[in-house]
């Protein structure tokens, strides 16, 4: 049985930007479900964590939004990546890859490597 965990602090914005980059405009519920799906249902994304990130990204100009109709014909706010958001995504991706490479070195290090 899989146990869902909360999204690590600071990574949800990157996941949102990447999801919008790949899929194009999407409403919040669809975005949350897609992030959970990509994680293999190991991450839990709820409104309480997603919507503050969406508001922050919109305030920063990384995403823009407009009202539209969802698949089930309900009124929903659709978010899209802006040019500034694409630039931010590229910079954050480079930073994340560098951090992951550093952590990988620590896990690969042997005791004799650290002396």
In terms of C-beta density within 10 A (0-12 exposed, 13-18 middle, 19 or more buried), how is residue 38 classed? Answer: middle
Q: How far apart are CA 112 and CA 64, in angstroms?
A: 51
Structure confidence by residue, pLDDT tens digits, 68-108: 998 888 999 999 999 999 999 999 999 999 999 999 998 88
Query: Which residue did the predictor score with more confidence, 110 or 15?
Result: 15
Domain residue spans of the chain:
5-114
Specify the CATH architecture of the domain 5-114: Orthogonal Bundle (1.10)
In this prediction the pTM is: 0.85
Q: What local confidence, expressed as pLDDT, does residue 7 receive?
A: 73
Structure confidence by residue, pLDDT tens digits, 14-70: 999 999 999 999 999 999 999 999 999 898 898 888 999 999 999 999 999 999 998
């Amino acid at each position: 049985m899989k146990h869902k965990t909360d999204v690590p602090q600071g990574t949800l914005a990157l996941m949102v930007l990447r999801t919008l980059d790949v899929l194009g405009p999407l409403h919040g519920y669809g975005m949350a479900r897609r992030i959970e799906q990509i994680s293999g249902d190991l991450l839990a994304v709820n409104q309480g964590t997603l919507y503050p990130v969406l508001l922050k990204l919109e305030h920063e100009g990384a995403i823009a939004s407009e009202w539209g109709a969802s698949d089930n014909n309900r009124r929903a706010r659709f978010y899209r990546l802006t040019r500034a958001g694409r630039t931010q995504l590229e910079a954050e991706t480079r930073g994340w890859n560098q951090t992951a490479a550093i952590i990988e070195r620590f896990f690969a290090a042997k005791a004799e490597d650290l002396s």
